[in-house]
A and B are shown apart, each in its own frame.
Chain A
Amino acid sequence: MLIKRPDPIPILPSEITDAGVHARRRDFLRLSIGAGLVAAAGQPLLPARAQPPSGERLSIASRTDYAAMEKPSDLEDVATYGNYIEFSFDKETAMGLANRRLRVRPWTVRIEGLVRQPRTLAIEDLLRLAPLEERVYRHRCVEGWSMVIPWVGFPLSVLLRQAEPLGSAKYVELVTATQPDTMPNLRSRQVEWPYLEGLRLDEAMHPLTLAAVGMYGQTLPGANGAPLRLVVPWKYGYKGAKSVQVIRLVEREPQTFWNKAQPEEYGFYANVNPDVDHPRWSQARERRIGEFFKRKTLPFNGYADQVAQLYAGMDLRKHY
Protein backbone atom coordinates (compact mmCIF):
# COMPACT_ATOMS: atom_id res chain seq x y z
CA MET A 1 0.00 0.00 0.00
CA LEU A 2 1.25 3.42 -0.86
CA ILE A 3 1.59 5.46 2.23
CA LYS A 4 1.88 9.11 1.61
CA ARG A 5 2.11 11.59 4.38
CA PRO A 6 1.89 15.22 3.54
CA ASP A 7 4.84 17.24 4.73
CA PRO A 8 3.89 19.62 7.44
CA ILE A 9 3.19 22.87 5.67
CA PRO A 10 3.78 26.05 7.62
CA ILE A 11 0.77 28.29 7.98
CA LEU A 12 1.51 31.65 6.49
CA PRO A 13 0.37 34.74 8.36
CA SER A 14 -1.60 35.75 5.28
CA GLU A 15 -3.68 32.59 5.52
CA ILE A 16 -4.85 33.18 9.06
CA THR A 17 -8.19 34.86 9.39
CA ASP A 18 -7.83 38.26 10.99
CA ALA A 19 -9.06 38.17 14.58
CA GLY A 20 -11.41 41.07 13.91
CA VAL A 21 -13.00 39.27 10.98
CA HIS A 22 -13.24 36.11 13.03
CA ALA A 23 -14.99 38.00 15.83
CA ARG A 24 -17.50 39.38 13.36
CA ARG A 25 -18.26 36.00 11.74
CA ARG A 26 -21.69 35.80 13.30
CA ASP A 27 -22.52 39.27 12.06
CA PHE A 28 -21.57 38.07 8.62
CA LEU A 29 -23.93 35.14 8.98
CA ARG A 30 -26.71 37.40 10.16
CA LEU A 31 -26.07 39.78 7.31
CA SER A 32 -26.16 36.93 4.82
CA ILE A 33 -29.47 35.69 6.15
CA GLY A 34 -30.81 39.22 6.09
CA ALA A 35 -29.65 39.75 2.53
CA GLY A 36 -31.25 36.48 1.50
CA LEU A 37 -34.53 37.47 3.05
CA VAL A 38 -34.43 40.93 1.53
CA ALA A 39 -33.70 39.37 -1.84
CA ALA A 40 -36.66 37.04 -1.39
CA ALA A 41 -38.88 39.88 -0.19
CA GLY A 42 -38.02 42.35 -2.90
CA GLN A 43 -38.27 39.97 -5.79
CA PRO A 44 -39.72 41.52 -8.92
CA LEU A 45 -42.02 38.61 -9.77
CA LEU A 46 -41.19 38.98 -13.43
CA PRO A 47 -41.65 35.58 -14.97
CA ALA A 48 -38.91 34.61 -17.39
CA ARG A 49 -40.42 31.25 -18.22
CA ALA A 50 -41.33 29.39 -21.34
CA GLN A 51 -44.52 30.57 -23.00
CA PRO A 52 -47.36 28.05 -23.05
CA PRO A 53 -48.29 26.71 -26.47
CA SER A 54 -50.57 29.23 -28.09
CA GLY A 55 -53.97 27.96 -29.14
CA GLU A 56 -56.28 29.00 -31.91
CA ARG A 57 -57.90 32.36 -31.64
CA LEU A 58 -61.61 32.15 -30.78
CA SER A 59 -64.23 34.61 -31.94
CA ILE A 60 -65.91 36.00 -28.88
CA ALA A 61 -69.43 37.40 -28.90
CA SER A 62 -69.50 39.08 -25.49
CA ARG A 63 -67.30 39.85 -22.51
CA THR A 64 -68.32 40.05 -18.86
CA ASP A 65 -66.14 40.72 -15.87
CA TYR A 66 -67.19 38.65 -12.86
CA ALA A 67 -64.07 39.47 -10.88
CA ALA A 68 -64.78 43.07 -9.87
CA MET A 69 -62.21 44.56 -12.24
CA GLU A 70 -59.37 42.56 -10.73
CA LYS A 71 -56.43 42.19 -13.05
CA PRO A 72 -56.32 38.79 -14.76
CA SER A 73 -53.37 36.59 -13.82
CA ASP A 74 -50.49 36.16 -16.26
CA LEU A 75 -51.31 33.60 -18.93
CA GLU A 76 -47.92 31.94 -18.29
CA ASP A 77 -48.83 31.38 -14.65
CA VAL A 78 -52.28 30.01 -15.45
CA ALA A 79 -50.91 27.61 -18.05
CA THR A 80 -47.96 26.37 -16.01
CA TYR A 81 -49.13 26.31 -12.39
CA GLY A 82 -51.96 24.01 -11.38
CA ASN A 83 -52.91 20.40 -11.03
CA TYR A 84 -53.48 17.85 -13.76
CA ILE A 85 -52.68 14.75 -11.80
CA GLU A 86 -53.19 12.26 -14.61
CA PHE A 87 -49.82 13.59 -15.74
CA SER A 88 -48.01 14.00 -12.41
CA PHE A 89 -48.57 14.77 -8.74
CA ASP A 90 -46.09 17.61 -9.16
CA LYS A 91 -47.79 20.73 -10.47
CA GLU A 92 -45.20 22.08 -12.83
CA THR A 93 -44.26 18.67 -14.21
CA ALA A 94 -47.92 17.90 -14.78
CA MET A 95 -48.72 21.16 -16.50
CA GLY A 96 -45.67 20.96 -18.75
CA LEU A 97 -46.46 17.38 -19.78
CA ALA A 98 -50.12 18.16 -20.36
CA ASN A 99 -49.28 21.14 -22.56
CA ARG A 100 -46.94 19.04 -24.67
CA ARG A 101 -48.68 15.69 -24.75
CA LEU A 102 -52.44 15.82 -24.31
CA ARG A 103 -54.13 14.68 -27.51
CA VAL A 104 -57.17 16.87 -28.18
CA ARG A 105 -58.22 15.77 -31.69
CA PRO A 106 -60.28 13.81 -32.52
CA TRP A 107 -62.49 14.53 -29.52
CA THR A 108 -66.10 13.82 -28.82
CA VAL A 109 -68.26 14.62 -25.85
CA ARG A 110 -71.11 12.31 -25.00
CA ILE A 111 -74.17 13.43 -23.05
CA GLU A 112 -76.03 10.41 -21.71
CA GLY A 113 -77.90 8.92 -18.79
CA LEU A 114 -81.26 10.27 -17.75
CA VAL A 115 -81.89 12.27 -20.92
CA ARG A 116 -84.51 12.11 -23.64
CA GLN A 117 -81.97 12.60 -26.40
CA PRO A 118 -78.48 11.15 -25.77
CA ARG A 119 -75.97 13.06 -27.87
CA THR A 120 -72.42 12.60 -29.04
CA LEU A 121 -70.91 15.86 -30.18
CA ALA A 122 -67.66 16.32 -32.04
CA ILE A 123 -65.59 19.09 -30.50
CA GLU A 124 -65.82 21.07 -33.77
CA ASP A 125 -69.63 21.13 -33.52
CA LEU A 126 -69.49 21.84 -29.83
CA LEU A 127 -67.47 24.99 -30.50
CA ARG A 128 -70.30 26.24 -32.72
CA LEU A 129 -73.09 25.30 -30.35
CA ALA A 130 -73.57 28.75 -28.86
CA PRO A 131 -72.04 32.21 -29.08
CA LEU A 132 -68.80 32.18 -27.12
CA GLU A 133 -68.63 34.42 -24.10
CA GLU A 134 -65.57 35.63 -22.29
CA ARG A 135 -66.02 35.60 -18.53
CA VAL A 136 -63.43 36.79 -16.06
CA TYR A 137 -63.75 34.62 -12.95
CA ARG A 138 -61.83 34.32 -9.71
CA HIS A 139 -60.35 30.83 -9.35
CA ARG A 140 -59.65 29.48 -5.85
CA CYS A 141 -57.74 26.24 -5.33
CA VAL A 142 -58.41 24.14 -2.24
CA GLU A 143 -54.65 24.31 -1.57
CA GLY A 144 -54.89 28.00 -0.75
CA TRP A 145 -53.85 29.81 -3.91
CA SER A 146 -55.97 31.74 -6.37
CA MET A 147 -55.97 33.40 -9.78
CA VAL A 148 -58.18 35.57 -11.97
CA ILE A 149 -58.84 33.92 -15.33
CA PRO A 150 -60.66 35.14 -18.46
CA TRP A 151 -62.36 31.94 -19.60
CA VAL A 152 -64.12 31.50 -22.93
CA GLY A 153 -67.13 29.25 -23.25
CA PHE A 154 -70.87 29.08 -22.79
CA PRO A 155 -73.15 28.09 -19.92
CA LEU A 156 -73.10 24.35 -19.24
CA SER A 157 -76.90 24.53 -19.28
CA VAL A 158 -76.77 25.11 -23.06
CA LEU A 159 -74.95 21.83 -23.47
CA LEU A 160 -77.19 19.91 -21.08
CA ARG A 161 -80.35 21.13 -22.80
CA GLN A 162 -79.10 19.61 -26.06
CA ALA A 163 -79.87 16.22 -24.57
CA GLU A 164 -83.11 17.20 -22.81
CA PRO A 165 -82.62 15.98 -19.23
CA LEU A 166 -85.44 13.90 -17.78
CA GLY A 167 -87.30 14.90 -14.64
CA SER A 168 -85.66 12.05 -12.75
CA ALA A 169 -82.16 13.52 -13.32
CA LYS A 170 -80.91 15.12 -10.11
CA TYR A 171 -77.14 15.17 -10.58
CA VAL A 172 -74.58 15.50 -13.33
CA GLU A 173 -71.54 13.24 -13.43
CA LEU A 174 -68.49 14.19 -15.48
CA VAL A 175 -66.00 11.65 -16.73
CA THR A 176 -62.67 12.98 -17.94
CA ALA A 177 -60.13 11.70 -20.44
CA THR A 178 -57.74 8.84 -19.75
CA GLN A 179 -54.91 8.54 -22.26
CA PRO A 180 -52.51 5.91 -20.93
CA ASP A 181 -49.92 6.72 -23.58
CA THR A 182 -49.82 10.43 -22.75
CA MET A 183 -50.63 10.41 -19.03
CA PRO A 184 -47.86 8.71 -17.02
CA ASN A 185 -49.55 9.07 -13.65
CA LEU A 186 -52.43 6.79 -14.65
CA ARG A 187 -50.06 4.07 -13.48
CA SER A 188 -50.19 5.42 -9.93
CA ARG A 189 -52.13 3.15 -7.60
CA GLN A 190 -52.39 5.82 -4.90
CA VAL A 191 -55.65 7.04 -6.43
CA GLU A 192 -58.50 5.60 -8.47
CA TRP A 193 -58.89 6.61 -12.13
CA PRO A 194 -60.57 8.12 -14.07
CA TYR A 195 -60.94 11.59 -12.60
CA LEU A 196 -64.64 11.97 -11.91
CA GLU A 197 -66.52 15.07 -10.89
CA GLY A 198 -70.12 15.91 -10.27
CA LEU A 199 -72.62 18.64 -9.59
CA ARG A 200 -76.18 18.80 -8.41
CA LEU A 201 -78.39 19.50 -11.44
CA ASP A 202 -79.36 22.98 -10.21
CA GLU A 203 -75.66 23.81 -9.77
CA ALA A 204 -74.93 22.51 -13.24
CA MET A 205 -77.78 24.59 -14.71
CA HIS A 206 -76.75 27.75 -12.84
CA PRO A 207 -75.90 30.57 -15.26
CA LEU A 208 -72.41 31.01 -13.71
CA THR A 209 -71.45 27.38 -14.44
CA LEU A 210 -69.39 27.43 -17.58
CA ALA A 211 -68.48 24.86 -20.20
CA ALA A 212 -65.12 26.40 -21.08
CA VAL A 213 -63.35 25.83 -24.39
CA GLY A 214 -60.78 28.58 -24.12
CA MET A 215 -59.05 31.24 -22.08
CA TYR A 216 -57.33 34.51 -22.89
CA GLY A 217 -59.15 34.57 -26.22
CA GLN A 218 -57.69 31.25 -27.40
CA THR A 219 -58.50 27.56 -27.22
CA LEU A 220 -57.50 25.95 -23.92
CA PRO A 221 -53.91 24.78 -23.41
CA GLY A 222 -53.66 21.07 -22.58
CA ALA A 223 -52.73 21.84 -18.99
CA ASN A 224 -55.91 23.81 -18.45
CA GLY A 225 -58.18 21.02 -19.61
CA ALA A 226 -58.37 21.21 -23.39
CA PRO A 227 -60.55 20.91 -25.30
CA LEU A 228 -63.51 21.25 -22.93
CA ARG A 229 -63.59 21.77 -19.17
CA LEU A 230 -65.95 22.71 -16.43
CA VAL A 231 -65.61 26.01 -14.57
CA VAL A 232 -67.62 26.50 -11.38
CA PRO A 233 -66.27 29.75 -9.95
CA TRP A 234 -67.78 29.52 -6.47
CA LYS A 235 -66.27 26.09 -5.83
CA TYR A 236 -62.70 24.97 -5.24
CA GLY A 237 -60.78 24.41 -8.43
CA TYR A 238 -60.81 20.63 -8.27
CA LYS A 239 -64.53 20.65 -9.11
CA GLY A 240 -63.62 22.04 -12.53
CA ALA A 241 -63.16 18.73 -14.34
CA LYS A 242 -60.66 18.98 -17.19
CA SER A 243 -60.78 17.41 -20.66
CA VAL A 244 -64.36 16.21 -20.24
CA GLN A 245 -65.51 13.28 -22.38
CA VAL A 246 -68.76 12.11 -20.84
CA ILE A 247 -71.52 14.10 -19.18
CA ARG A 248 -73.96 11.74 -17.52
CA LEU A 249 -77.23 12.73 -15.91
CA VAL A 250 -77.97 10.57 -12.89
CA GLU A 251 -80.41 10.27 -10.02
CA ARG A 252 -78.00 9.88 -7.09
CA GLU A 253 -75.04 11.91 -5.97
CA PRO A 254 -72.13 10.68 -8.10
CA GLN A 255 -68.78 9.66 -6.68
CA THR A 256 -66.05 12.18 -7.22
CA PHE A 257 -62.31 11.67 -7.52
CA TRP A 258 -61.00 13.59 -4.51
CA ASN A 259 -63.91 12.62 -2.34
CA LYS A 260 -63.12 8.97 -2.96
CA ALA A 261 -59.40 9.54 -2.37
CA GLN A 262 -59.74 11.48 0.90
CA PRO A 263 -63.39 11.79 1.96
CA GLU A 264 -62.66 13.58 5.22
CA GLU A 265 -60.75 16.29 3.36
CA TYR A 266 -62.58 16.83 0.07
CA GLY A 267 -66.35 16.95 -0.01
CA PHE A 268 -68.82 16.68 -2.86
CA TYR A 269 -69.89 20.32 -2.61
CA ALA A 270 -66.49 21.98 -2.21
CA ASN A 271 -67.96 25.46 -2.04
CA VAL A 272 -65.30 28.05 -1.28
CA ASN A 273 -65.84 28.80 2.39
CA PRO A 274 -63.40 30.74 4.59
CA ASP A 275 -65.23 29.50 7.71
CA VAL A 276 -64.81 25.79 7.03
CA ASP A 277 -61.18 24.76 7.27
CA HIS A 278 -59.59 21.98 5.37
CA PRO A 279 -58.68 19.51 8.14
CA ARG A 280 -55.01 20.25 7.61
CA TRP A 281 -55.01 23.96 6.81
CA SER A 282 -57.12 27.07 7.17
CA GLN A 283 -59.22 28.26 4.24
CA ALA A 284 -59.59 31.77 5.68
CA ARG A 285 -57.00 33.25 3.36
CA GLU A 286 -55.44 32.62 -0.01
CA ARG A 287 -52.37 33.59 -1.95
CA ARG A 288 -53.29 35.26 -5.21
CA ILE A 289 -50.66 34.15 -7.69
CA GLY A 290 -48.46 37.13 -8.46
CA GLU A 291 -49.13 38.76 -5.10
CA PHE A 292 -46.91 38.61 -2.08
CA PHE A 293 -49.04 38.33 1.01
CA LYS A 294 -52.21 36.37 1.44
CA ARG A 295 -55.62 37.96 1.08
CA LYS A 296 -58.93 37.09 2.71
CA THR A 297 -60.99 34.39 1.06
CA LEU A 298 -64.58 35.38 0.28
CA PRO A 299 -67.61 33.15 0.97
CA PHE A 300 -68.50 31.32 -2.25
CA ASN A 301 -65.37 32.94 -3.69
CA GLY A 302 -67.24 36.26 -3.89
CA TYR A 303 -70.25 34.84 -5.75
CA ALA A 304 -72.51 34.49 -2.69
CA ASP A 305 -75.14 36.90 -4.08
CA GLN A 306 -75.60 34.69 -7.11
CA VAL A 307 -75.36 31.21 -5.58
CA ALA A 308 -75.94 31.24 -1.80
CA GLN A 309 -79.66 30.53 -2.26
CA LEU A 310 -78.77 27.15 -3.81
CA TYR A 311 -77.70 26.02 -0.35
CA ALA A 312 -80.42 27.62 1.76
CA GLY A 313 -81.06 25.51 4.86
CA MET A 314 -78.02 23.32 4.34
CA ASP A 315 -75.35 22.89 7.00
CA LEU A 316 -72.27 23.91 5.04
CA ARG A 317 -69.98 22.48 7.70
CA LYS A 318 -71.46 19.06 7.09
CA HIS A 319 -71.80 19.45 3.34
CA TYR A 320 -68.30 20.81 2.78
Chain B
Amino acid sequence: MGRFDAVTDRQLAGLKTVLFLLALVPAGRLAWGAWQGTLGANPIEAVTRGLGDWTLNFVVLTLCVTPLRKATGWVWLTRLRRMLGLFAFFHATLHVTSYVWFDQFFDWGEIARDILKRPFITAGFAAFAIMALLAATSSNAMVRRLGGRRWRDLHRSIYALALIGVVHYAWMVKKDITLPAAYGAAIAFLLGLRAWWRWQERQRQLAGAYLKKPKGKVIPIAIKR
Protein backbone atom coordinates (compact mmCIF):
# COMPACT_ATOMS: atom_id res chain seq x y z
CA MET B 1 0.00 0.00 0.00
CA GLY B 2 1.42 3.38 -1.01
CA ARG B 3 2.01 6.18 1.32
CA PHE B 4 -0.85 8.38 0.11
CA ASP B 5 -3.39 5.66 -0.48
CA ALA B 6 -5.41 6.64 2.52
CA VAL B 7 -5.78 9.95 4.23
CA THR B 8 -7.58 10.70 7.44
CA ASP B 9 -10.51 13.10 7.48
CA ARG B 10 -8.33 15.56 9.24
CA GLN B 11 -5.60 15.37 6.61
CA LEU B 12 -8.23 15.76 3.93
CA ALA B 13 -9.62 18.83 5.67
CA GLY B 14 -6.14 20.31 5.75
CA LEU B 15 -5.63 19.49 2.10
CA LYS B 16 -8.92 21.11 1.24
CA THR B 17 -7.99 24.26 3.11
CA VAL B 18 -4.69 24.50 1.26
CA LEU B 19 -6.43 23.86 -2.05
CA PHE B 20 -9.08 26.47 -1.26
CA LEU B 21 -6.48 29.12 -0.52
CA LEU B 22 -4.43 28.21 -3.59
CA ALA B 23 -7.52 28.38 -5.76
CA LEU B 24 -8.09 31.97 -4.62
CA VAL B 25 -4.63 33.05 -5.77
CA PRO B 26 -5.41 33.67 -9.49
CA ALA B 27 -8.42 35.90 -8.80
CA GLY B 28 -6.52 37.56 -5.98
CA ARG B 29 -3.62 38.33 -8.30
CA LEU B 30 -5.99 39.80 -10.88
CA ALA B 31 -7.68 41.96 -8.24
CA TRP B 32 -4.31 43.08 -6.90
CA GLY B 33 -3.01 43.80 -10.40
CA ALA B 34 -6.11 45.84 -11.20
CA TRP B 35 -5.69 47.76 -7.96
CA GLN B 36 -1.99 48.40 -8.59
CA GLY B 37 -2.47 49.21 -12.27
CA THR B 38 -0.11 46.52 -13.48
CA LEU B 39 -2.50 44.80 -15.89
CA GLY B 40 -1.57 46.92 -18.88
CA ALA B 41 -3.50 49.55 -20.77
CA ASN B 42 -6.77 47.62 -20.83
CA PRO B 43 -7.13 46.18 -17.33
CA ILE B 44 -10.80 45.29 -17.73
CA GLU B 45 -10.05 43.12 -20.73
CA ALA B 46 -7.14 41.56 -18.83
CA VAL B 47 -9.42 40.78 -15.88
CA THR B 48 -12.24 39.37 -18.03
CA ARG B 49 -9.88 37.21 -20.07
CA GLY B 50 -7.89 36.12 -17.03
CA LEU B 51 -11.10 34.96 -15.36
CA GLY B 52 -12.10 33.11 -18.53
CA ASP B 53 -8.72 31.37 -18.66
CA TRP B 54 -9.05 30.29 -15.04
CA THR B 55 -12.55 29.00 -15.58
CA LEU B 56 -11.16 26.68 -18.23
CA ASN B 57 -8.16 25.80 -16.07
CA PHE B 58 -10.45 24.66 -13.26
CA VAL B 59 -12.67 22.72 -15.66
CA VAL B 60 -9.57 20.90 -16.89
CA LEU B 61 -8.40 20.28 -13.30
CA THR B 62 -11.83 18.90 -12.42
CA LEU B 63 -11.66 16.55 -15.38
CA CYS B 64 -8.18 15.41 -14.27
CA VAL B 65 -9.43 14.06 -10.95
CA THR B 66 -10.76 10.71 -12.12
CA PRO B 67 -7.82 9.85 -14.41
CA LEU B 68 -5.44 10.81 -11.63
CA ARG B 69 -7.38 8.67 -9.16
CA LYS B 70 -7.23 5.70 -11.50
CA ALA B 71 -3.53 6.20 -12.13
CA THR B 72 -2.55 6.54 -8.49
CA GLY B 73 -5.24 4.58 -6.69
CA TRP B 74 -5.80 7.56 -4.39
CA VAL B 75 -9.55 7.34 -4.03
CA TRP B 76 -9.69 10.39 -1.77
CA LEU B 77 -8.88 12.59 -4.76
CA THR B 78 -12.55 12.36 -5.67
CA ARG B 79 -13.36 14.19 -2.48
CA LEU B 80 -11.53 17.28 -3.82
CA ARG B 81 -13.44 17.26 -7.08
CA ARG B 82 -16.45 19.25 -5.96
CA MET B 83 -14.28 22.11 -4.75
CA LEU B 84 -12.44 22.26 -8.06
CA GLY B 85 -15.73 22.26 -9.94
CA LEU B 86 -17.12 25.00 -7.74
CA PHE B 87 -13.99 27.08 -8.32
CA ALA B 88 -14.56 26.74 -12.06
CA PHE B 89 -18.04 28.12 -11.42
CA PHE B 90 -16.62 30.85 -9.17
CA HIS B 91 -14.34 32.12 -11.95
CA ALA B 92 -17.08 31.72 -14.56
CA THR B 93 -19.43 33.82 -12.42
CA LEU B 94 -16.87 36.62 -12.08
CA HIS B 95 -16.12 36.34 -15.82
CA VAL B 96 -19.81 36.76 -16.67
CA THR B 97 -20.17 39.54 -14.09
CA SER B 98 -17.30 41.41 -15.68
CA TYR B 99 -19.03 41.16 -19.07
CA VAL B 100 -22.47 42.15 -17.73
CA TRP B 101 -21.11 44.99 -15.65
CA PHE B 102 -18.11 46.50 -17.41
CA ASP B 103 -18.85 45.61 -21.03
CA GLN B 104 -22.63 45.99 -21.09
CA PHE B 105 -23.38 47.89 -17.90
CA PHE B 106 -26.49 45.80 -17.15
CA ASP B 107 -28.09 46.58 -20.50
CA TRP B 108 -30.16 43.38 -20.49
CA GLY B 109 -31.66 44.04 -23.92
CA GLU B 110 -28.20 44.36 -25.43
CA ILE B 111 -27.03 41.27 -23.53
CA ALA B 112 -29.99 39.24 -24.84
CA ARG B 113 -29.23 40.40 -28.39
CA ASP B 114 -25.59 39.44 -27.90
CA ILE B 115 -26.55 35.95 -26.73
CA LEU B 116 -28.85 35.46 -29.71
CA LYS B 117 -26.66 37.06 -32.37
CA ARG B 118 -23.07 36.30 -31.47
CA PRO B 119 -22.16 32.62 -31.57
CA PHE B 120 -19.20 33.00 -29.22
CA ILE B 121 -21.41 34.62 -26.59
CA THR B 122 -24.16 32.04 -27.21
CA ALA B 123 -21.61 29.30 -26.54
CA GLY B 124 -20.21 31.01 -23.45
CA PHE B 125 -23.66 31.59 -22.06
CA ALA B 126 -24.67 27.97 -22.69
CA ALA B 127 -21.57 26.67 -20.92
CA PHE B 128 -22.24 29.01 -18.00
CA ALA B 129 -25.89 27.91 -17.75
CA ILE B 130 -24.88 24.24 -17.59
CA MET B 131 -22.21 25.06 -15.03
CA ALA B 132 -24.71 26.95 -12.89
CA LEU B 133 -27.00 23.91 -12.93
CA LEU B 134 -24.14 21.68 -11.82
CA ALA B 135 -23.12 24.11 -9.09
CA ALA B 136 -26.71 24.29 -7.86
CA THR B 137 -26.89 20.50 -7.65
CA SER B 138 -23.44 20.04 -6.14
CA SER B 139 -24.47 19.59 -2.50
CA ASN B 140 -24.78 16.24 -0.74
CA ALA B 141 -28.47 16.97 -0.23
CA MET B 142 -28.93 17.32 -3.99
CA VAL B 143 -27.10 14.05 -4.61
CA ARG B 144 -29.59 12.35 -2.27
CA ARG B 145 -32.55 14.15 -3.79
CA LEU B 146 -31.66 13.28 -7.35
CA GLY B 147 -30.40 9.80 -6.58
CA GLY B 148 -26.82 8.77 -7.29
CA ARG B 149 -27.35 7.57 -10.82
CA ARG B 150 -29.35 10.55 -12.03
CA TRP B 151 -26.98 12.92 -10.29
CA ARG B 152 -24.00 11.27 -11.96
CA ASP B 153 -25.64 11.41 -15.39
CA LEU B 154 -26.47 15.09 -14.89
CA HIS B 155 -22.95 15.91 -13.78
CA ARG B 156 -21.48 14.20 -16.80
CA SER B 157 -22.65 17.29 -18.69
CA ILE B 158 -19.29 18.75 -17.62
CA TYR B 159 -18.00 16.93 -20.70
CA ALA B 160 -20.29 19.00 -22.92
CA LEU B 161 -19.69 22.26 -21.11
CA ALA B 162 -15.91 21.81 -21.31
CA LEU B 163 -16.13 21.44 -25.07
CA ILE B 164 -18.55 24.35 -25.42
CA GLY B 165 -16.21 26.44 -23.30
CA VAL B 166 -13.32 25.77 -25.67
CA VAL B 167 -15.52 26.61 -28.66
CA HIS B 168 -16.44 29.87 -26.92
CA TYR B 169 -12.73 30.67 -26.59
CA ALA B 170 -11.87 29.66 -30.16
CA TRP B 171 -14.68 31.78 -31.60
CA MET B 172 -13.61 34.78 -29.56
CA VAL B 173 -9.99 35.04 -30.66
CA LYS B 174 -9.16 37.21 -33.65
CA LYS B 175 -6.89 34.89 -35.54
CA ASP B 176 -4.41 32.96 -33.46
CA ILE B 177 -6.07 29.78 -32.14
CA THR B 178 -2.98 28.30 -30.47
CA LEU B 179 -4.30 28.58 -26.92
CA PRO B 180 -7.88 27.42 -27.62
CA ALA B 181 -6.38 24.51 -29.55
CA ALA B 182 -4.19 23.60 -26.57
CA TYR B 183 -7.20 23.60 -24.24
CA GLY B 184 -9.14 21.63 -26.83
CA ALA B 185 -6.39 19.02 -27.03
CA ALA B 186 -6.18 18.68 -23.25
CA ILE B 187 -9.93 18.27 -22.91
CA ALA B 188 -10.14 15.90 -25.88
CA PHE B 189 -7.45 13.78 -24.22
CA LEU B 190 -9.28 13.72 -20.88
CA LEU B 191 -12.60 12.84 -22.52
CA GLY B 192 -10.87 10.32 -24.80
CA LEU B 193 -9.55 8.51 -21.72
CA ARG B 194 -13.09 8.10 -20.48
CA ALA B 195 -14.28 6.80 -23.84
CA TRP B 196 -11.36 4.36 -23.80
CA TRP B 197 -12.27 3.07 -20.34
CA ARG B 198 -15.86 2.59 -21.42
CA TRP B 199 -14.76 0.69 -24.48
CA GLN B 200 -12.48 -1.53 -22.41
CA GLU B 201 -15.25 -2.16 -19.92
CA ARG B 202 -17.59 -3.08 -22.74
CA GLN B 203 -15.01 -5.48 -24.17
CA ARG B 204 -14.62 -7.12 -20.79
CA GLN B 205 -18.35 -7.56 -20.49
CA LEU B 206 -18.64 -8.99 -24.01
CA ALA B 207 -15.83 -11.41 -23.27
CA GLY B 208 -17.75 -12.55 -20.24
CA ALA B 209 -14.85 -11.71 -17.99
CA TYR B 210 -17.13 -11.54 -15.00
CA LEU B 211 -18.38 -15.06 -15.53
CA LYS B 212 -14.96 -16.66 -15.62
CA LYS B 213 -13.38 -18.07 -12.56
CA PRO B 214 -10.72 -15.78 -11.23
CA LYS B 215 -7.20 -17.13 -11.23
CA GLY B 216 -5.29 -17.75 -8.05
CA LYS B 217 -6.51 -18.24 -4.56
CA VAL B 218 -9.92 -16.89 -3.77
CA ILE B 219 -10.34 -15.40 -0.34
CA PRO B 220 -13.93 -15.87 0.72
CA ILE B 221 -15.61 -12.93 2.33
CA ALA B 222 -18.88 -12.91 4.14
CA ILE B 223 -21.63 -10.63 2.98
CA LYS B 224 -24.31 -9.81 5.48
CA ARG B 225 -27.79 -9.62 4.10
Asked if A48 lies at the interface with its beta carbon under 8 angstroms from chain B, I say: yes
Cα distance, A143 to B42, chains bound together (Å)? 12
A276 within 8 A of B: no
Q: Do B102 and A293 touch across chains, with their CB atoms under 8 A apart?
A: yes
Chain B residues closer than 8 Å to A77, beta-carbon distance:
41
Complex contacts, A158 vs chain B, CB 8 Å = none
Option from A37, A91, A191 in Cβ contact (under 8 Å) with B97: A37
Q: Which of B189-225 contact A (CB under 8 A)?
A: none
Check if B8 sits within 8 Å of A36, measured CB to CB. Answer: no
Docked-complex contact B176 and A190, CB < 8 angstroms: yes
- B8 lies within 8 A of A6 (CB): yes
Select from chain B the residue with minimum beta-carbon distance to A293.
B105
Q: Is A318 an interface residue (CB 8 A)?
A: no
A77: shortest Cβ distance to chain B, in Å? Answer: 4
Q: When the two chains form their complex, are residues A44 and B40 in contact, meaning their CB atoms are under 8 A apart?
A: no
List A residues 63-92 near B (Cβ within 8 Å).
74, 76-78, 80-81, 85, 89-92
B149 in the interface, Cβ–Cβ < 8 Å? no
Q: Is the CB of B36 within 8 A of A48?
A: yes
Rounded to whole Å, the gap between the CB of B101 and the closest CB of chain A is: 8
Give the total of A residues in contact with B, Cβ under 8 Å: 50
Q: Nearest Cβ in chain B — how far from A271, in angstroms? A: 19
What are the 10 tightest A-B residue pairs by CB atom distance, in nearest-first order? A81-B41, A89-B176, A77-B41, A43-B34, A39-B31, A46-B37, A36-B31, A40-B34, A289-B41, A39-B35
A interface, CB within 8 angstroms of B: 3-4, 6, 8-9, 11, 32-33, 35-37, 39-49, 74, 76-78, 80-81, 85, 89-92, 143, 145, 188, 190-191, 261-262, 277, 280-282, 287, 289-290, 292-294
Q: Hey, which bits of chain B sit against chain A, CB under 8 A?
A: 1, 3, 8, 10-11, 24, 27-28, 30-32, 34-38, 40-45, 47, 90, 93-94, 97-98, 101-103, 105, 110, 114, 117-120, 171-172, 174-178
- 22 sampled A-B residue pairs with Cβ under 8 A: A6-B11, A33-B94, A37-B97, A39-B31, A40-B31, A40-B35, A42-B35, A48-B36, A48-B38, A81-B42, A188-B176, A261-B175, A277-B117, A280-B118, A280-B120, A280-B171, A280-B172, A281-B118, A282-B110, A287-B45, A293-B105, A294-B103
